[in-house]
Each structure stands twice: as C-alpha cells, then as structure tokens.
Amino acid sequence: MQFLVLLYPYGSLISIGNCTEKVELMHISLNYRFLLSLAAILAVASVTLSMLLTAIMWMPYKELPLWGQQSIATHLFAYSMIAGFAIGWVATIATRRALRSRKVLPLHWHLRSQTLIDRLPSRMFNRAFMFALAGFAIASIMLLLLDLLQLYHIPYTEFQVLASVYSICFSAAITIMAVYRALGDSIMRHSNL
C-alpha cells in the first residue's frame, strides 16, 4: 500500500493507494501563532532555569524533603514568584511590541472586561507583581497536592522530571494570561509629544 502526503500552503494532498483526497488544514490566526511561539520560547527558558536551579541546589542529594529550609517547598515558592514576575513582564513587553508593529491584532471591545484577567492592572510592574502572586498560589496548590499524596521525600531524578513538567505548565499558564491581558491594552493612545 502506498502512502503519500504532500503539504501545500492551504491544505494537504493525502494519497493512500489509488485514493487521493485534498484535506484542508486549519489556519492559525496571527494572535495564536504569536502566543504559541512566545509560549514555546518562554517554556524552554523556564525549563532551563528550573533545571539549572535544581542542579545547583541539590546535585549531591539523593532525596529531597518536601518541607524545610532547603526543600521542595522553598524551591517552588521562590521559583514560582520570580518566574511568574519575569515571564509576565517579558510576555507583556513582547505583546505590546507586537501590537505596535502590527504583528498581532488587538482584542475587540466586546472581548474585553469579560474575565478576571482583564481586571489585572494596566501598569506593567503592577501586572507582573500580580503574576508573581499567581505563581505563589499555583505553587501552594502544587505543594498541597504533594502533601495530600504524602510525598514527603522525592528522589532527585524524579524531582527533576516533576520540576520540568511544572515549569512548562507554569510558564504556559502565565504566558497565556499575560498575552491575553496585553492584547487588551490600549497602547496606541501613548503619544511621543
């Protein structure tokens, strides 16, 4: 049986044996393309930072305690607050820059003020601080789940996997909130005068 797929800009031609069928691909809007690329870049940076911090802090240890001075809880709280602030700041700057250069489209008026995200502050430092607090809340939920599962000591290699998955999910969540909020910013009202 012969199987052939040809990709074209507006669809694919799939051929299986004697049957050929044109399949239309879903086009991704500018905003979603921007969001996916920014989320991927920030997720890679977040995983790299998390792995470096984990290696620096706990390389010689075989098991890591959940609570204590040098513990998983300390790492998650510190990492989540700092990364939440930094990711929110970078995503807001990148989105505002993309809005100014018309690489993304702003949200329409009827899409604004419908969610809690739209109530975030308009000033960038205050917004990034709110993302840091969101990071604290997300870390609290993660620690609560680990405590409920009675995982009081986690092996180093398993924690590296947990930390990398956590940092990817955390980075994606903060990036989505920051980009969505920044798309609703009215940046064009600022004047150079």
User: What's the whole-number average pLDDT of the chain?
Assistant: 82
76 has a pLDDT exceeding 90: yes
125 has a pLDDT exceeding 50: yes
What is the model's pTM? 0.78
Residue 6's identity, in one-letter code, is L
- Furthest C-alpha separation in the chain: 69
CA distance 94 to 133: 21
Residue 77's identity, in one-letter code, is F
The pLDDT tens digits of the residues spanning 101-122 come to 988 888 765 555 567 777 777 8
164 has a pLDDT exceeding 50: yes
What is the predicted pLDDT for the residue at 187?
Answer: 66
What is the predicted pLDDT for the residue at 4?
Answer: 46
CA distance 156 to 55: 9
What is the predicted pLDDT for the residue at 86?
Answer: 96
